């Protein structure tokens, strides 16, 4: 409730006008049955045509006023609810963007999408309904009782019997339905997750001819959602018929009681007609209340899910040290006695006893078997995760003390998977530096060995590349991602196996261009291929979660058995070694020293 008040109070004016307008509509609704009874008793039965016209004109005017009030109430409630949901969705998305990676993983992408869309819509609907129906239903209920009893107190007998029965039935239905709404939303999460996975991984699905399997997986998730939704709707469907039965029996009871009162001369026929209308209004108000509580129960489940995200404080908390306060050692990175395990996991840590000093401007490669902890190691530098033990420093300052924005602006990170966005090639490169000039964009692409193929596009740098770079090859996507990192001209640039789709020649030219054009930039490169890193200043070999050896290629060939094993497993004979060396020499001749 606090969340609703927090985001709705900004629109208090519209939130206040809506129930005020609704009061006008309710007043008209309650006055109509009495006026109708007057037409019957004082006009029709007595044959007074003038009275019929007079009261009829008043009823028409009141109906027009009520209609205007109703439309105004709907308009004001819609403005307030839509504005509320817009702000809530913005706040929710802002929170999602600032969550730590481990928190995003916990919520899952499909669930976050559902919370930002379906859950917010549910809460929006209940806000809109509350501003109108939470006034209309109680006022009709209370006003109807007052007006019915003012006609004849004997009608209270009908109300005393009918209302408790209806209230008990509504309460039972709601208690049974409330727990099911949370299940509906969780099943919807699953459907969204399956859709997102299969749309993003469409190529893999087709490559492995798994369309039927994924269709079955979606059908199962969809069937689970269908089953729980039907279960809820069956329960809710019982309310309408039961309420109708109670209401119709109540009408019959009013007619019987009214007939006895007419025979006793205590009431007129027109007032019985008015009493029937009031009883109908009273019981319909109760039915309306039951429907509101149904919607409220579902909205409560959605609101709880929204608040779970809003209440999640980022695990990675920003420090208060600004990068501008430390101008020395630009690009120096140090790991001191670092150990790391992923949150919520047990067993041996992913990394342990890591000690590594990287000097400013140094080209350091990280090599190791799959799953050895290479990506985990570099993830600690921009604080995607925090070290479990030990200290990671940048320019002599613990990364935990840095302002997160300042820390991450000191570096660029090229991921294993190239993440591109719908738009032009130029827009994707400018992600690294939004204010970059066309010359800076082209220069970054040239260093990344992307300029040639970009110029080959019909519209060059203004060519649309499609969502997630769907129109580009793997190597082209990697080079655009590298250009995006380079355009920032960062102090530190991290390549997380981001040249795996490049041929040896292109990769050698890329390394040569980086060495030549980004002098003074600290380069940390993770690679699977030893040919990609053998020209680095130093190579850190990770084995079983720790640095087993660190040195140049020549040093490691002499001192590290683990490195030699990797080398000979990849380069099987001297001819292949010579071919790689020839490619490297060709790159030197074209672009400068490695």
Region 136-144: mean pLDDT is: 84
Confidence of residue 583 (pLDDT cuts 50, 70, 90): low
Taking Cα atoms as reference points, which of 444, 572, 591 lies closest to residue 515? Answer: 591
CA distance 589 to 584: 9
Scored b (16 or more CB within 10 A) or e, 484-496 reads: bbbbbbbbbbbbb
The band of 5, judged by pLDDT with boundaries at 50, 70 and 90, is confident
What pLDDT sits at residue 420?
85
pLDDT band (50, 70, 90) for residue 574: very low
Task: Kindly write down the DSSP assignment for every residue of 510-549, as one continuous string.
Answer: HHHHHHHHSTT-EEEEEES-GGGTTTSSEEEEEETTEEEE
Q: Considering only CA atoms, which of 187, 160, 338, 173 is closest in space to residue 250?
A: 160
Q: What is the pLDDT of residue 177?
A: 74
- Order across the sheet with 397-398: list the strands: 351-358, 333-340, 389-394, 397-398
Mean of the per-residue pLDDT values for the chain?
84
Which pLDDT value is given to residue 494? 93
* Mean pLDDT of the region 562-566: 86
Mean pLDDT over 359-386 rounds to 90
169-to-40, 89, 121, 145 alpha-carbon distances in Å: 36, 36, 28, 20
Mean pLDDT in residue range 262-284: 80
C-beta of residue 360 within 8 angstroms of C-beta of residue 330: yes
182-191, 318-327, 334-343, 431-440: the lowest-pLDDT one: 318-327
Q: Does domain 412-489 have CATH number 3.30.465.10?
A: no
* pTM (2 d.p.): 0.72
**At CA 145, angle to CA 21 and CA 55, rounded to 5?**
65
Which residue, among 408, 307, 393, 312, has the nearest Cα to 358 in the 3D structure?
A: 393
For residue 366, the model assigns a pLDDT of 93
Closest CA to 174 of 283, 308, 285, 299: 299
pLDDT band at 333 (very low <50, low <70, confident <90, very high): very high
H or E stretch including 508? helix 504-517
Instruction: Please report, for the chain, the start and end positions of each structural domain, with discontinuous segments joined by +.
Output: 2-310, 412-489
Q: What is the mean pLDDT of residues 190-212?
A: 77
Q: 340 and 379 in contact (C-beta within 8 Å)?
A: no
- How large is the average pLDDT for residues 115-132? 87
Q: Token match 């101008």: residue? A: 327
Quick one: pLDDT at residue 437? 92
Q: Are 285 and 138 in contact (CB under 8 A)?
A: yes
- Closest by CA to 413, choosing from 510, 474, 301, 490, is 490
**Total Cβ atoms within 10 A of residue 214:** 18
Q: Which CATH number fits domain 2-310: 3.40.50.10490, 3.60.9.10, 3.40.1380.10, 1.20.1560.10?
A: 1.20.1560.10
- So what's the pLDDT on residue 592? 45
- Average pLDDT of span 268-272: 80
């Amino acid at each position: 409730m606090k969340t609703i008040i927090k985001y709705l109070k900004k629109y208090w004016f519209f939130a206040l006008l809506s129930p005020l307008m609704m009061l006008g509509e309710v007043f008209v609704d309650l006055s109509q049955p009495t006026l109708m009874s007057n037409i019957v008793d004082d006009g029709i039965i007595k044959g007074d045509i003038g009275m019929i016209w007079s009261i009829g004109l008043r009823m028409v005017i009141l109906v027009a006023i009520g209609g205007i009030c109703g439309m105004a109430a709907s308009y004001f409630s819609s403005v307030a609810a839509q504005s509320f949901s817009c702000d809530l969705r913005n706040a929710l998305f802002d929170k999602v963007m600032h969550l730590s990676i481990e928190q995003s993983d916990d919520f899952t992408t499909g669930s976050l999408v559902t919370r930002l869309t379906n859950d917010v819509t549910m809460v929006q609907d209940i806000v809109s309904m509350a501003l109108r129906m939470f006034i209309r239903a109680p006022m009709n209920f209370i006003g109807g009782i007052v007006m019915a009893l003012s006609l004849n107190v004997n009608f209270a007998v009908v109300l005393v019997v009918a209302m408790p029965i209806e209230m008990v039935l509504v309460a039972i239905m709601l208690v049974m339905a409330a727990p099911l709404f949370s299940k509906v939303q969780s099943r919807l999460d699953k459907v969204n997750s399956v859709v997102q996975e299969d749309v993003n991984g469409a190529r893999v699905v087709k490559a492995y001819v798994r369309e039927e399997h994924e269709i079955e997986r979606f059908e199962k998730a969809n069937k689970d959602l269908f089953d729980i939704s039907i279960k809820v709707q069956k329960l809710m469907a019982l309310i309408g018929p039961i309420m109708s039965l109670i209401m119709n029996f109540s009408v019959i009871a009013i007619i019987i009681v009214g007939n006895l009162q007419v025979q006793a001369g205590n009431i007129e026929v027109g007032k019985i007609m008015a009493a029937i209308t009031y009883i109908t209004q009273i019981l319909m108000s109760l039915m309306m209340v039951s429907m509101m509580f149904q919607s409220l129960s579902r909205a409560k489940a959605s609101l709880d899910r929204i608040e779970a995200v809003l209440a999640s404080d980022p695990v990675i908390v920003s420090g208060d040290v600004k990068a501008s306060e430390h101008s020395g050692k630009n690009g120096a990175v140090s790991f001191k006695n670092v150990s790391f395990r992923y949150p919520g996991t047990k067993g041996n840590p992913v990394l342990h006893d890591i000690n590594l000093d990287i000097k400013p401007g140094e080209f350091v490669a990280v090599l190791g078997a799959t799953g050895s902890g290479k990506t985990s190691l570099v993830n600690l530098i921009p604080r995607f995760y925090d070290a479990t033990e030990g200290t990671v420093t940048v320019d002599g300052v613990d990364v935990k003390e840095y302002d997160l924005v300042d820390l991450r602006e000191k570096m660029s990170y090229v991921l294993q998977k190239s993440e591109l966005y719908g738009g032009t090639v130029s827009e994707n490169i400018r992600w690294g530096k939004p204010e970059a000039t066309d010359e800076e964009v082209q220069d970054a692409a040239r260093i990344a060995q992307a300029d040639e193929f970009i110029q080959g596009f019909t519209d060059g740098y203004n060519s649309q590349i499609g969502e997630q770079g769907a129109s580009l090859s793997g190597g082209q996507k990697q080079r655009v991602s590298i250009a995006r990192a380079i355009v920032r001209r960062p102090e530190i640039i991290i390549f997380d196996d981001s040249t795996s789709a490049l041929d040896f020649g292109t990769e050698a030219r890329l390394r040569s261009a980086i060495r030549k054009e980004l002098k003074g930039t600290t380069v940390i490169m993770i690679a699977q291929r030893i040919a990609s890193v053998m020209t680095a200043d130093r190579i850190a070999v990770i084995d079983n979660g720790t640095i087993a050896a660190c040195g140049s290629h020549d040093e490691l060939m002499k001192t590290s058995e683990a490195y030699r094993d990797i080398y000979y497993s990849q380069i099987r004979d001297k001819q292949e070694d010579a071919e790689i060396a020839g490619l490297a020499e060709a790159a030197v001749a074209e672009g400068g020293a490695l």
